Homo-oligomer: A and B are copies of this chain.
Amino acid sequence: VVDRGVARAHRGLQAAIKRYAGPETKVVVVPGGEKVKNQPRHLKQILRAINEAGLCRHSYVVAVGGGALLDVAGYAAATAHRGIRLVRIPTTVLAQDDSGVGVKNGVNAFGKKNYLGTFAPPYAVINDFGFLGTLSDRDWRSGISEAVKVALIKDAALFDFLERNAGLLAQRNQDALEQVIRRCAALHCAHIACNGDPFELGSSRPLDFGHWAAHKLEQLTNYHLRHGEAVAIGIALDSTYSYLSGWLPETDWQRVVDLLQRLGLRLYVPELGRELAHPEDAKCVLRGLTEFREHLGGRLTIMMLNAIGQPFEVHEMDTARVARSIEILKQLQENRRPAALTENGYVEPERVA
């Protein structure tokens, strides 16, 4: 199952697949991007191809593409015959450093991201750096936001590396990016294998730092915002909230927003500031908290930061403080000193017990 964008950028790919895997190999090309998860006909197209090829549980579906394509092809493979072996070949920065190296699949339904899906460990994941050269600048950059996320919750040394190499990374230096991807993929694998809850039976999901707002922003922008772009804003938001709450030191907070900006990632889009007075309005980003809790189940659990590399959990968020965080991000994005900050520095954080 090949992502249409990948098939176009790598014209010889389909012939190379048949040379490697045999002429009888069936190649299905479907669009990439979130739309493939929104339209059920793409899922059906993949399932039909699996059936027509007579694949059994000991056969292999190989998915080549970005995170969205891997999600839908993985869902088809996980449900056909109750599970055909899946090999994932992620082709974007985002998929290679984050979602591709995981056990989840899914499609969107009822207007909700990943409403239908399963947990299904892949047979293998192959990160082929050869695919990265043809990515657009937007896809290159936005994938790095998941690296910032995993550094913030797991690896201060990776954060240092990202800071030292932010210029190179923004200029598409492949060596620097490969080092980042290797480290992120290793952290991701270790987390799933060793965190004790690979299938998310509990309510804690550390790898979803910044994601409650990101998922909602993707939906609010009709998926014009890339997942990685939305994650950058979500990271900035929860880092700012952590700072305003008195948990994250000012210098650490400053490093986070500076790094995101040096990587060419936005901290704010207009959809973030809408309807903040109505937290349960479907157009308000705060509604994302309810949807995030409903998807994972149980008690609302959100990661916050005590320092770079030191996350902790909270179970509620103060609506007014989220609104102030958003106002600060808006001013930073407009290259203005946030009005809420004092002359001598940033606002005095609220001390929270």
| A interface residues, Cβ below 8 angstroms from B | 47-48, 51, 54, 56-59, 78-84, 104, 106, 109-110, 112, 114-119, 199-201, 203, 293-298
Specify the chain B residue showing the minimal Cβ separation from A296.
B57
| Bound CA span A82–B47, Å | 19
How far does the alpha carbon of A57 sit from the alpha carbon of B295 in the complex, in Å?
Answer: 7
Q: Are A104 and B82 in contact (CB under 8 A)?
A: yes
A47 CB to closest chain B CB (Å) equals: 7
Contact status A57-B116, CB under 8 Å = no
Asked whether A79 lies within 8 Å of B82 as measured between CB atoms, the reply is: no
The smallest C-beta distance from A290 to any residue of chain B, in angstroms, reads 9
Pairwise interchain contact B295-A56, C-beta atoms closer than 8 A = yes
User: Given A81-B295, A106-B82, A109-B47: A58 and B203 within 8 A (CB)?
Assistant: yes
Taking CB atoms, residues of chain B closer than 8 Å to A47 are 109-110, 116
18 contacts between A and B (CB under 8 A): A47-B109, A47-B116, A54-B294, A57-B295, A57-B296, A59-B297, A79-B117, A80-B115, A80-B116, A81-B115, A81-B294, A81-B295, A81-B297, A82-B106, A82-B117, A82-B200, A83-B118, A83-B199
| 6 nearest A-B residue pairs (beta carbon) | A57-B297, A56-B297, A58-B297, A58-B298, A51-B110, A82-B117
Closest to A290 in B: B54
Give the complex CA separation of A201 and B82 in angstroms. 10
Bound complex: CA A199 to CA B199 (Å): 15
Provide the residues of chain B in CB contact with A116, threshold 8 Å.
47, 79-80
Distance between A297 CB and nearest chain B CB, rounded to angstroms: 3
Contact partners of A201 in chain B: CB under 8 A: 57
**Contact present for B118 and A78 (CB under 8 Å):** yes
A79: B residues at CB distance < 8 A: 79, 116-118
- Report B-chain residues with C-beta under 8 Å of the C-beta of A104: 82
For A58, the closest partner residue in chain B by CB is: B297
Name the residue in A54, A58, A200 with the highest tally of chain B Cβ atoms < 10 Å from its Cβ. A58
Whether A51 and B115, one on each chain, are in contact in the complex, defined by CB atoms closer than 8 angstroms, is yes
Specify the chain B residue showing the minimal Cβ separation from A120: B118
How many whole Å from A60's CB to the nearest CB in chain B? 11
A119-B83 contact given A109-B47, A298-B56, CB 8 Å threshold: yes
User: Residue A48 contacts which of B59, B110, B117 (CB distance < 8 angstroms)?
Assistant: B110
Q: What is the CB-to-nearest-CB distance from A40 to chain B, in angstroms, rounded to a whole number?
A: 10
A148 CB, min distance to chain B CBs, angstroms: 26
Indicate if the CB atoms of B200 and A56 lie closer than 8 Å.
no
Residues of B within 8 Å of A83, CB to CB, are: 118-119, 199
A3, chain B: closest CB distance, angstroms: 23
Q: State A80–B57 Cα separation when bound (angstroms).
A: 23
B115, A200: Cβ atoms under 8 Å?
Answer: no
Cα of A78 to Cα of B83 in the assembled complex, Å: 13
- A295 to B59 CA separation, bound complex (whole angstroms): 11
Q: In the complex, which residue of chain B has the Cβ closest to the Cβ of A59? A: B297
Measured CB to CB, the nearest residue on chain B to A44 is: B109
Determine the residue in chain B with the shortest Cβ distance to A105. Answer: B82
Min Cβ gap A135→B in Å is 28
Q: Complex: how many Å from CA A82 to CA B82?
A: 14
- Extra A-B contacts (12), CB below 8 Å, given A58-B297, A82-B106: A47-B110, A51-B109, A56-B294, A56-B295, A57-B200, A57-B201, A57-B298, A79-B116, A80-B115, A80-B116, A81-B115, A83-B199
